[in-house]
Amino acid sequence: MYGQDIISILFGAVIVIAIIVAIFLLFRNLVLWYYKIDKIVEQQERMVQALERLSPPPQLMQAQVENATESDSNGKTISAKWICPVCHHENYWTAKVCTQCGAKQPGIV
């Protein structure tokens, strides 16, 4: 009778430990899953901010779509490219300095 009590106590302890481990693993996966989503969202927000810094002004995007030039509200022509005032080389809007002579893009401080 004494041996059966020990066996039933050990069996109960093993079941309780198994349940505790299962709950721990379940909540661990749930918590890690939540934090991974949180980190992914944070990373995507940083990527959107970086893309916004790299994207051209809306006027230039419109000019690129029309594959030509466009006038702004002041009547000034806006182009997806700019011409270097020093060497007259045509540069893309993303270039802050001339790719040929290294002169700064006009209007860039």
Percent of the chain with pLDDT over 90: 20
- Convert the pLDDT of each residue in 45-87 to its tens digit: 999 888 877 776 665 555 544 444 445 556 555 566 888 889 9
Higher pLDDT pick, 50 / 13: 13
User: β-pairing, 90-92 with 81-83?
Assistant: antiparallel
Q: Which two tokens stand for residue 61?
A: 């995007």
Phi, psi (degrees; rounded to nearest 5) at 69: -110, 170
The pLDDT, as a whole number, for residue 56 is 65
For tokens 């005032």, name the residue.
85
Q: In terms of Cα–Cα distance, which of 49, 27, 29, 26 is closest to 37?
A: 29
